[in-house]
Amino acid sequence: MADQVLDQIRDIAEGQIDFEGQRLSEQLSLILMYSVSAVSVLAGYLLQDIRLCMLIVLGGTALTGLIVIPPWPFYKNNPVKWLPLGSTGAPKEASIPQTIVYNDNVVG
Every domain of the chain and the residues it spans: 8-77
Whole-angstrom Cα distance, residue 44 to residue 50?
6
Q: Which residues contact 107 (CB under 8 A, 6 or more apart)?
A: 99, 100, 101
SS3 of residue 102 by DSSP: strand
pLDDT of residue 97: 63
- For residue 8, pLDDT over 60 is answered with yes
- For residue 99, pLDDT over 80 is answered with no
- The pTM (predicted TM-score) of the whole model is 0.65
End-to-end CA distance of the chain: 67
Higher pLDDT, 82 or 102: 82
